[in-house]
A = this chain, B = another copy of it.
Amino acid sequence: MADPKIINGVNVDELFNTINAVKKSPLIATFKFRATNKWIKGGHNRTSIRNFYGVQKDHPHKMRFELDADEPQVLLGDDKAPNPVEYALAALAACVTSSIVYHAAAKGIKLNSVESRLEGDIDLQGFLGLSKEVPRGYKEIRMYFKIDADAPKEKLDEIVQLGPTYSPVFDTFTRAVPVKVKLET
């Protein structure tokens, strides 16, 4: 057998195998991602990520991932870890980046480097309950990419736009997703 075709660290043969398998049996594309969280003290809490469902079965991760969140001192925490809205930026940055990388690989475009910086605006009057007009979350988020690729300069903007076009977290932020919050007794 020939060596697998690897572009940007993505096994493109496997990627097209996956695409073809999903075309035949769309049910294998149904994924359920999971997390548990335990409050520690004040703004400090810990999320654990252990397994997910996909391709019609449960998959354990190689290890249990633990993600601590805290608030900085100006927001009355101890600054032990990023805060939740910073985790939201990390999720967005990682997802838009991976979407660029995977979709560029599928198009045969070799990337040399991808870097980004993000900034998002929050007016705490929302969280503090001081105004009904001020949103509690991000009013706007801006992402700026620097990309070096084996592609002409005029192609780079097209490559960057693969991110927002396909990224699940970009879609989660920019579309109104139903989130149900329930008390379990």
Contacts and interface: CB of A to CB of B under 8 A. Distances in A.
A123 interface: yes
Q: Chain A contact residues: over half helix, strand or loop, or mixed?
A: mixed
A62 to B, nearest CB: 4
B81 A143 contact: no
Taking residues whose C-beta sits less than 8 angstroms from the other chain, chain A's interface range is 35 or more
Interface in A132-183: 135-147, 156-157, 160-161, 163-164, 166-183
The count of identical subunits is 2
A108 interface: no
Nearest to A40: B9
Interface in A50-67: 52, 54-55, 59, 61-62, 65, 67
B119 A32 contact: yes
Interface of A: 8-11, 14-15, 18-19, 22-23, 26, 29-39, 41-45, 47, 49, 52, 54-55, 59, 61-62, 65, 67, 69, 71-72, 74-76, 79-99, 101-103, 111, 113-130, 135-147, 156-157, 160-161, 163-164, 166-184
The 9 A-B residue pairs with the shortest CB-CB distance, nearest first, are A9-B42, A137-B171, A84-B95, A137-B172, A69-B94, A87-B91, A9-B41, A37-B93, A39-B114
